[in-house]
Structure 1
Amino acid sequence: MNNRVISVDIFRGITIVLMILVNTPGTWSSIYAPFLHADWHGYTPTDLVFPFFLFIVGISIVFAYHNREVSGSTYRKITIRSLKLIGLGLFLGAFTLNFPFVKDFENIRFPGVLQRIGVVFFFSSILFMKIHWKALLVVCVAILVGYWLWMGFVPINGVEPTFDRAPHNWANYIDLNVLGIHMWKADYDPEGVLSTLPAIASALFGVFTGLMLKSNKNNKTGLLFGLGIGLLALGYIWDLYFPINKAIWSSSFVLVTAGWANIILSVIYYFSDVKNKKFGGVFKYAGANAITVFFLSSFISKLFGLIKVDGTSLHGWLFKNLYVQDFMALKLSSLLYALTVVTFYVLLAYVLYRKKIFIKV
């Protein structure tokens, strides 16, 4: 515990809290703009949350496996953890209250947040264990450039490809042909097959940051901040040729989100690890059981949507009867509901932390 970087725990906790906040509004029909995803190109604060978590996954890989012996046992543990994450995600996608508690096959969504975390963790961990960081940097660049060339220049059945939401977008095309009806939308999935490739690069940027934090370099705050600014600038330049887009996880999106992650982490690192200021404890609690808290929030939210009360879902009933008030804007009511949910899980994380219960997936 003495070797932990406090800022990473705090940043992980902030990310989990934001993931729960944006996933559990009172009503999806009334949400403040910053808590919505971009329609397609561009990004909002909400679009930063998931790549931030993958970035932290990369940092965690460094701290978990930096001095670990490369062995079959280590690879087995990595594989088992990845399969657990994928299994939990598939469970969330398939669960229903009707016996035998599994949706009809045609209604199950195969991709998802936990599934992507599992796949990204697996490949990023194996790459980190197998090759030197300089070779890892080459792999990261190759992923981003290769993805851009594939998405932007390889024809689809003789048709020029596009980055827009269309049948001749490579990410959408592959998802439709591989996943079929098992997607979030009829024409694409934001956690789809092809877009998982650049998502691995998001975690690899976290690996590079983790190596920097583990190093003996001076002025890590400045290095993190400078790296963040550099990645942000490169991302915006690349946006001119490959638009920033979360739905297809464009290469410019990877750079911009990694840039913001380093900038934000540098600020937290300065106050928590350099100046030893006592702050962010509430987020540290959530970060200590991040996957557990996120899974519970997703599962309970799903239950609240499935359980019926007076002809509506339990979620809808609670929101309508406790939060919708004549003197309050509906968007504010929706936000207050989400904040209540977040408060509950932060308190749960605090209890787990105080009792020294740390559930590893």
Structure 2
Amino acid sequence: MVLKWVIGKAKACKYFVMQSIIVWGSEVGNTIHDGRIIHIDQLRGIALLLMILVHAAATWKPSQLHQEHVLAIFVASLGGLAAPLFIFIFGWGIGRSKNTSFQKNIIRGLVLFFAQFLVNLTVPHLFHPFSPGVLTLIALLYFFAPIWLYTINLSFKNIPLWPVICCILLFTPMFITLPDATWSQRTIPEGVVSWLHLAIFSGTYPILPWLIFAIIGGCVAQEKTSKINRNYVILSGLILSLCFFIYALHFGKTYALPSGEAVLTFFPANVPFLISSLTGIGLLWVLVLKIPEFTGLINLGRFTLTYYIIHFLPFRFWHDIDEKHTWSMPVSFSVIIIYTILFWPLSLLHHRVAPNYSLEAWMKRLSSRQ
């Protein structure tokens, strides 16, 4: 019975994919505005909204909503795409750049280290001042870009090795992560060696396995995936993702949780999460090529770093307001949705009034001096 249902869903997915997949790497949206690719900015905007949504939901979720609730799983599944999408787009950008110097990458990485420090200070109830986070991950990927970009071009007897490298990264969570680690163990470094261990292996966004998203993004940018049947790859990802869901239903397990006992977990990023995230990125890449151009979404994509830091500010001062006022589920969800959508008109106003005042503009000015 379960097998028939999976096959039926797979056929439906196959029809959708075959009708809508465009050559993933070479047919990125060609619409350019102010020297920027609209398709990529819209993807960044979506990633930012998903990030804000999942953080707001984690902060202001109603007490009566347990983690196994379908709404909680839905939000966690959507929000779980945000960081992978950011890293993928970062890898795509680095892979596409031809004239970026090592000095510029160092400056951008240092700015991101500073930005992560600001985030940590903004929400001290969540992070230690020196907790490595997603901005730390991107900073380190900037620093080591020459190395991981080099691996993209490795081959053995004219056989590219990047698929092998990605497979190794895909399964690293089975060997190096600490599934039972507490939040404090993932975020509080006890010294330099501890910080490095968190940043590379066991923190919230360790290089291993998160590097896989940057490498695949770089491969797409350099058209290394042009000989791969992308329809088959994304269809396979959809089937596997569906199987994870069926497995959870059949054995009575929780499908997705930020951390804990579940089939998909974000902290640490386990193998099912990585597979599902890569599949989701592929689908979003295709879908965004087909949607109209939304000015608000495009502007969000231009100020992702700035808004990423700003969106934490209310969490510092009102992170327990839902508990003090015992918000009901409708109130909590209304606040979460309104807060997330609020950044759309904010980006329109920002771009109209002060487009050159942002962390992105500051980073660009600093790096352009080199």
Q: Which residue matches 2:283?
A: 263
Q: Which residue matches 1:309?
A: none
How far has the Cα of 1:16 moved from its partner? 0.2
* AA partner of residue 165 (structure 2): A
Q: Find the partner of 1:16 among 48, 64, 68.
A: 48
Residue by residue over 1:47-99, the C-alpha shift from the partner in whole angstroms, topping out at 9 and shown as x without a partner, is 22221221121222234x1x326xxxx11111111121122112322358xxx
Map 1:70-149 → 2, pairs under 5 A: 74-95=101-122, 108=129, 110-123=131-144, 125-127=145-147, 129-130=149-150, 133=153, 135=155, 138-139=161-162, 141-142=164-165, 144-145=167-168, 148=171
CA 1:351–1:224 in structure 2 vs 1: closer, same or farther (change >3 Å)?
A: farther
User: Which consecutive residues of structure 1, in runs of 5 or more, have no partner in the other structure?
Assistant: 97-102, 155-161, 273-277, 306-312, 325-329
Residue by residue over 1:263-310, the C-alpha shift from the partner in whole angstroms, topping out at 9 and shown as x without a partner, is 1211221x25xxxxx343321121111111111112x224424xxxxx
* AA partner of residue 229 (structure 1): L
Q: Which residue matches 2:17?
A: none
* AA partner of residue 51 (structure 2): M
How far has the Cα of 1:234 moved from its partner? 6.4
Asked if 2 retains the 8 angstrom alpha-carbon contact of 1:15 and 1:52, the reply is yes
Q: Which residue matches 1:295?
A: 309
Give the secondary structure class of the aligned counterpart of 1:228.
Answer: helix
Q: Which residue matches 1:68?
A: 99
CA 1:332–1:248 in structure 2 vs 1: closer, same or farther (change >3 Å)?
A: same
Q: Which residue matches 1:285?
A: 299
Residue by residue over 1:166-220, the C-alpha shift from the partner in whole angstroms, topping out at 9 and shown as x without a partner, is 69xxx97x9899549x98xxxx7433xxx421101112112222334x99x7xx9
How far has the Cα of 1:237 moved from its partner? 8.3
For 1:238 and 1:260, the matched residues in 2 are separated by 14
For 2:45 and 2:104, the matched residues in 1 are separated by 24
Q: Which residue matches 2:355?
A: 357
CA 1:201–1:93 in structure 2 vs 1: closer, same or farther (change >3 Å)?
A: same
For 2:347 and 2:322, the matched residues in 1 are separated by 26
* AA partner of residue 131 (structure 2): F
CA 1:142–1:107 in structure 2 vs 1: closer, same or farther (change >3 Å)?
A: closer
CA 1:189–1:37 in structure 2 vs 1: closer, same or farther (change >3 Å)?
A: farther
CA 1:81–1:166 in structure 2 vs 1: closer, same or farther (change >3 Å)?
A: closer
Give the secondary structure class of the aligned counterpart of 1:44.
Answer: helix
For 1:92 and 1:107, the matched residues in 2 are separated by 10
Give the alignment's TM-score, normalised by structure 1. Answer: 0.65
Q: Find the partner of 1:229 among 235, 240, 247.
A: 235
Q: Does 1:248 align with 2:253?
A: no
The number of equivalent residue pairs is 295
* AA partner of residue 263 (structure 1): L
Q: Once the two structures are aligned, what percentage of the paired residues are identical?
A: 18
For 1:302 and 1:150, the matched residues in 2 are separated by 30
User: Which consecutive residues of structure 2, in runs of 5 or more, have no partner in the other structure?
Assistant: 1-31, 248-262, 364-370
For 2:217 and 2:169, the matched residues in 1 are separated by 20
How far has the Cα of 1:5 moved from its partner? 3.7
- Aligned-CA RMSD value: 4.5
Residue by residue over 1:29-54, the C-alpha shift from the partner in whole angstroms, topping out at 9 and shown as x without a partner, is 4458466479xxxx733322221221
Residue by residue over 1:146-173, the C-alpha shift from the partner in whole angstroms, topping out at 9 and shown as x without a partner, is 6736844x8xxxxxxx974269xxx97x
Asked if 2 retains the 8 angstrom alpha-carbon contact of 1:54 and 1:117, the reply is yes
CA 1:95–1:140 in structure 2 vs 1: closer, same or farther (change >3 Å)?
A: farther
How far has the Cα of 1:145 moved from its partner? 1.9
CA 1:127–1:255 in structure 2 vs 1: closer, same or farther (change >3 Å)?
A: farther
Q: Does 1:207 align with 2:230?
A: no
Q: Does 1:47 align with 2:53?
A: no
Q: Find the partner of 1:165 among 159, 180, 198.
A: 180
CA 1:223–1:144 in structure 2 vs 1: closer, same or farther (change >3 Å)?
A: closer
* AA partner of residue 42 (structure 2): I
* AA partner of residue 164 (structure 2): V
CA 1:87–1:236 in structure 2 vs 1: closer, same or farther (change >3 Å)?
A: farther
Asked if 1 retains the 8 angstrom alpha-carbon contact of 2:56 and 2:336, the reply is yes
CA 1:122–1:224 in structure 2 vs 1: closer, same or farther (change >3 Å)?
A: farther
